[in-house]
C-alpha cells in the first residue's frame, strides 16, 4: 500500500515535500526571469542577473533535495525506526540555510553562484557580509543534510544487520545459507537509503571541509586556499548531491510503479550489485567536471570518463529496465501519478544521454560550460526528479481520493507540461551545440533567439504544472470523510 496510517510519518513527508515543491515553484519562476532577460524582453542588470542565478541554482538543488529527503524518509520509516523530531531538526537547519541564501542573494547581491568556486566569493562586486552570510547558510544546509544522512544511515544499518546486511552481501554471495537462516533481503528502497546516507555523509564532509576553509578565508584574508584542491572538493560534493537527488527519488519509483501497475518489485542479486556499483561510481564521476583543468592528474581524467560511462549500466539495466518490465503488458491505468512517474523515467534517460555525451573528453572540449550543461541537468532534474516527486504526490492523493481525473484533463496537462518542457530544453541543447556559453547575462547569437523560444516553452510548461496543481487540489477535496487516518479508498471499500 502506498500510504500508511502513520500520521506523523505523513506529516514529516508533507513538510519536506510540500516545502520542496513550493521552493521549486519559486525557483522555476526565478529561472523563467533569467531566460526572459537573456531573450532581451526584460533585461536585468548583470548584478541582478547573477544574484538571481545564484539563488536559482542553490534553491533548486536544495528544493529537489528536500523532496527526495522527505519521500525517502517516509518510505524508510515504514521499514525502520526513524525519529520524526530528528528529521524536523534537520529540516529546520536546511530551511534556516535557505533563508540565509535568500538574504545574501536578494538583499546582499551575492553572485558567486551555487558552486562558489574559490576564490571567486572574495573577488566579487557584492558586499563582504553577503559572502559570509551565503557561506554560513550553505554550511547550515549541509549540517541539516548530514543530520538527515546520519539518521538514515544509522536506521538502515540497525535494521538490516550492519553494512554487510544493508548491502545484502550474504543474499548475493551466500544465497542458500541466507534463505535457510530465514532472513530476508532489504527492500529495494533500502538501497537508495543506504547510498544517500553513506555517499551523502562523504559529500557533506567534503562540503563542510571546503566551507570551513572558505569561512576562515572570509574572516582572515591572509589565508590561502589552493584553487585546484577547492575545485575538486566543490565538484565532489556538488556532483554527489545532484546525483543523490536522483537516487533518493528513485526510491519512490520502487514503491510507486509497483502500486500503479499492480505488480511486485523484489530485491534481487542484480539489483543489489547494481546499487553497489552506483554507490562507488557516483563518488568517482565528478572528475568529468575537471576535464578542462589540464593540471589535474591525468589518471583522474581517464577515470572520470570510464566511471561516467559505467554508471549508465546499473541505471539502465537495473532500475529503468525493471520499471519498464513492470509496465510492459501490465494493463496499468494511466492516472496523472503514473504519467508523471513514467515520464520522469524518460527525462532521466534522455538527460543521461546528454550527460554521457558531455562526459566524453574529446566532446567535452566543444560542450564544456556551454548551455549543453544546463540542458542535460535540467532534463534529469526537471524532466526526471521533479516529475518523480509530483508523480508520487499524485499517486498518494489518487489512492485516497474518490474523484478521478478525466481523460481530457490528463491529455491537457501532459501536452502543456511535456510539450512546453521539450521546447524549453531544446532551447538549451541547441544553444549549447552552437557554442553559446552558459551563465552569460547577455548571450552571443543565436542565444537570444533560442532564449525567446525556450521562454515560451518554459511558460507553457509552467502553465501545465499550474493546471496539474489545480487538478491535484480538486482530487484532494475528494477524500472520503470516513476514511481519515490514512486508509485508501480501496481499503475503505473493502
Partner 1 sequence: MSVAVKLLITFLVFAGVAIAIFIVIAVSTKLPPRDQREVQRRGYAIRGWWFMGLFLFVIAAFAASIPFYPYMSATAALAPARKVPVIAEQYAFIMPSHLPVNTPIIFEVTSRDVNHDFGIYNPQGHLMAQVQAMPDYTNYLRVVFQEPGQYSARCLEYCGIGHAIMAKTFTVGGK
Residues 206 and 199: their CA atoms lie apart, in Å, by: 11
Residue 125 as a binder of partner 1 (CB under 8 A): the answer is yes
Which 3-state string (H, E, C) describes 422-488?
HHHHHHHHHHHHCCCECCCCCCCCCHHHHHHHHHHHHHHHHHHHHHHHHHHHHHHCCCCHHHCCCCC
Shortest Cβ 450–partner 1 spacing (Å):
12
What residues from 141 to 200 belong to the interface with partner 1 (CB under 8 A)?
none
Alpha carbon distance 52, 36 (integer Å):
12
Which cell numbers hold the place of 169?
552481501
Residue 305 makes contact with partner 1 by CB under 8 A: yes
User: Binding partner 1 by CB under 8 A: which of 175, 328, 470, 493?
Assistant: 328
Residues numbered 229-248 forming contacts with partner 1, rule: CB under 8 A: 231
Q: How far apart are the C-alpha atoms of 378 and 246, rounded to whole Å?
A: 12
Q: Does 325 participate in binding partner 1 (rule CB under 8 A)?
A: yes
Q: Which is nearer to partner 1, 111 or 155 (CB)?
A: 111
Q: Please choose, out of 3-11, 123-131, 246-254, 397-405, the segment that lies near partner 1 by the rule CB under 8 A.
A: 123-131
Q: Can you give the length of the chain in residues?
A: 494
CA distances from 449 to 179, 295, 424, 426, 439 (A): 62, 37, 12, 12, 16
Does position 449 interact with partner 1 (CB under 8 A)? The reply is: no
Four-CA torsion 259, 263, 266, 272, nearest 10 degrees:
-80
Nearer to partner 1, 239 or 368 (CB): 368
Measured between alpha carbons, how far is 359 from 362 in angstroms, rounded to an integer?
Answer: 9
Q: Segment near partner 1 (CB under 8 A), from 177-185, 363-371, 387-395, 408-416?
A: 363-371
Q: Taking CB under 8 A as the rule, which mask of x and - marks residues 94-113 in contact with partner 1?
A: -----------------x-x
With contact defined as beta carbons under 8 Å apart, do 194 and 167 qualify?
yes
Residue 437's DSSP bridge partners are 370
| Closer of 128 and 369 to partner 1 (Cβ) | 369
CB of 4 to partner 1, least distance (A): 24
- Minimum distance of partner 1 from residue 457's CB (angstroms): 16
With CB under 8 A as the contact rule, the residue among 84, 277, 306, 489 that binds partner 1 is 306
304, 359 contact by CB (below 8 A): yes
What CA–CA distance (Å, rounded) separates 109 from 126? 6
Which CB, 154 or 448, lies closer to partner 1? 448
Interface residue with partner 1, options 365, 470, 473, 484 (CB under 8 A): 365
Contact 418, 426 (CB under 8 A): no
Residues 369-398 that bind partner 1 (CB under 8 A): 369-370, 372
Q: Per rule CB under 8 A, is residue 357 in the interface with partner 1?
A: yes
**Does residue 432 touch partner 1 according to CB under 8 A?**
yes
Amino acid at each position: 500500500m502506498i500510504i500508511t496510517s502513520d500520521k506523523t510519518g505523513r506529516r514529516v513527508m508533507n513538510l519536506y515535500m510540500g516545502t520542496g515543491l513550493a521552493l521549486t515553484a519559486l525557483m522555476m519562476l526565478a529561472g523563467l526571469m533569467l531566460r526572459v532577460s537573456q531573450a532581451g524582453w526584460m533585461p536585468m542588470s548583470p548584478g541582478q542577473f547573477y544574484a538571481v542565478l545564484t539563488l536559482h541554482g542553490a534553491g533548486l538543488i536544495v528544493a529537489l533535495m528536500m523532496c527526495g529527503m522527505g519521500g525517502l524518509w517516509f518510505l524508510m520509516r515504514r521499514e525502520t525506526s526513524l525519529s520524526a523530531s530528528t528529521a524536523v531538526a534537520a529540516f529546520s537547519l536546511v530551511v534556516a540555510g535557505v533563508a540565509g541564501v535568500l538574504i545574501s542573494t536578494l538583499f546582499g547581491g551575492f553572485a558567486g553562484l551555487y558552486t562558489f568556486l574559490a576564490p571567486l566569493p572574495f573577488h566579487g562586486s557584492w558586499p563582504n557580509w553577503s559572502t559570509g552570510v551565503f557561506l554560513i547558510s550553505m554550511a547550515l544546509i549541509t549540517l541539516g543534510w548530514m543530520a538527515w544522512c546520519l539518521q538514515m544511515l544509522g536506521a538502515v544499518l540497525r535494521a538490516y544487520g550492519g553494512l554487510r546486511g544493508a548491502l545484502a552481501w550474504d543474499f548475493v554471495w551466500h544465497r542458500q545459507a541466507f534463505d535457510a537462516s530465514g532472513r530476508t533481503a532489504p527492500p529495494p528502497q533500502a538501497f537508495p537509503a543506504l547510498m544517500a546516507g553513506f555517499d551523502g555523509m562523504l559529500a557533506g564532509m567534503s562540503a563542510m571541509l571546503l566551507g570551513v576553509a572558505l569561512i576562515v578565508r572570509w574572516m582572515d584574508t591572509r589565508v590561502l586556499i589552493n584553487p585546484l584542491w577547492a575545485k575538486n572538493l566543490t565538484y565532489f560534493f556538488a556532483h554527489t548531491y545532484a546525483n543523490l537527488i536522483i537516487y533518493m527519488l528513485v526510491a519512490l519509483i520502487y514503491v510507486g510503479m509497483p502500486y500503479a501497475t499492480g505488480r511486485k518489485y523484489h530485491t534481487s542479486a542484480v539489483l543489489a550489485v547494481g546499487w553497489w556499483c552506483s554507490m562507488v561510481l557516483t563518488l568517482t564521476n565528478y572528475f568529468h567536471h575537471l576535464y578542462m583543468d589540464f593540471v589535474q592528474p591525468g589518471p583522474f581524467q581517464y577515470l572520470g570518463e570510464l566511471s561516467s560511462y559505467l554508471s549508465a549500466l546499473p541505471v539502465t539495466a537495473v532500475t529503468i529496465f525493471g520499471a519498464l518490465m513492470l509496465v510492459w503488458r501490465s494493463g496499468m491505468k494511466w492516472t496523472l501519478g503514473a504519467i508523471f512517474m513514467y515520464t520522469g523515467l524518460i527525462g532521466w534517460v534522455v538527460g543521461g544521454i546528454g550527460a554521457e555525451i558531455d562526459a566524453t573528453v574529446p566532446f567535452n572540449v566543444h560542450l564544456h560550460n556551454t548551455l549543453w550543461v544546463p540542458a542535460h541537468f535540467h532534463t534529469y532534474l526537471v524532466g526526471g526528479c521533479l516529475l518523480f516527486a509530483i508523480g508520487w504526490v499524485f499517486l498518494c492523493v489518487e489512492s485516497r481520493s474518490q474523484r478521478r481525473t478525466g481523460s481530457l484533463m490528463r491529455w491537457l496537462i501532459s501536452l502543456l507540461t511535456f510539450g512546453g518542457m521539450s521546447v524549453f530544453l531544446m532551447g538549451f541543447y541547441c544553444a549549447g551545440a552552437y557554442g553559446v556559453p552558459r551563465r552569460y547575462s547577455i548571450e552571443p547569437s543565436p542565444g537570444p533567439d533560442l532564449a525567446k523560444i525556450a521562454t515560451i516553452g518554459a511558460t507553457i510548461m509552467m502553465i501545465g504544472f499550474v493546471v496539474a496543481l489545480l487538478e491535484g487540489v480538486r482530487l484532494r477535496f475528494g477524500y472520503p470523510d470516513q476514511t481519515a487516518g490514512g486508509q485508501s479508498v480501496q481499503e475503505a471499500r473493502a
